[in-house]
Amino acid sequence: MLDLQLYMGQVVDVTLKIDGSSCSLFWKDGEFGVLSRNQWFDENNINKYTSIVQKYDLKNKLTSYCERHQVNICLRGELFGQGVQSSKNNPHSKLPLDIAFFNVWLIDEVRYTGIEHPHYFVNICNELNLPTVPILERAKLTKDLIEKYSDEEKLNGGSFEGVVIKGKDFSFKVINKPYDSRK
């Protein structure tokens, strides 16, 4: 378990946690793959996951990025929209099918990148023109910051599942209590 006291005062990104389905895309030593939480998809079979790959030309973009930077990575995102985690309280389930990226796993180093890393998800997505989860704020980690997102009923007028707080070498979820109680 993460001892938050060790990280208090460090600069963090607060990102919106989207209520959808995990989608991971990897490139390792010339091999590209599309994964859900527990399934590997044949990229030639059209489904929600592979249609997103086609929409954003992800195979070509990720391959080009990894070859240019000589790195093996897994780009992690949240698939959302109609037909994904449908519930009356989920604001993302009513949108068109899409993806928002939220993390990068360095395959060879067996670790996630943090906010100061050159392969941080924001840097990769900016370079490849890919969507990311909304970054709500960059701030210093405090108890008040955590409580703000766990107890707030609405964010920008809408319900939200929670946030993920990301630092240089750590991240953790803060689940929004009012949203979670309505699930």
CA distance 77 to 94: 18
| Second CATH level (architecture) for the domain 20-132 | 2-Layer Sandwich (3.30)
Return the top range by mean pLDDT from 30-34, 40-44, 91-95, 177-181: 30-34
- For the chain, give the number of residues: 183
Contact predicate 104/91, CB 8 Å: no
Residue 1 has a pLDDT of 67
25-84 confidence digits (pLDDT tens):
999 999 999 999 899 999 889 999 999 999 999 999 999 999 999 999 999 999 988 777
Query: Where along the chain do the CATH 3.30.470.30 domains lie?
Result: 20-132
Kindly report the average pLDDT of the chain as a whole number.
90
Helix axes 58-69, 121-128, angle to 10 degrees: 120
Tell me the Ramachandran region of residue 150: left when phi exceeds 0, alpha when psi lies from -120 to 50, beta otherwise: alpha
pLDDT band at 181 (very low <50, low <70, confident <90, very high): low
Residue 181 φ/ψ, nearest 5 degrees: -70, -20
Q: Closest by alpha carbon to 50, among 96, 97, 101?
A: 97
Coil, strand or helix: which one is 181?
helix
- Percentage of the chain modeled with pLDDT above 70: 94
Averaged pLDDT for residues 154-159: 76
List Cα–Cα distances, 14 to 19, 94, 140, 144, in angstroms: 16, 24, 10, 13
Contact predicate 48/83, CB 8 Å: yes
What pTM was estimated for this model as a whole? 0.91
Residue 134 has a pLDDT of 94
Half-sphere exposure of 86 (CA within 13 A, CB side): 5
102-126 confidence digits (pLDDT tens):
999 999 999 999 999 999 999 999 9
Averaged pLDDT for residues 154-182: 83
Residue 83 has a pLDDT of 74
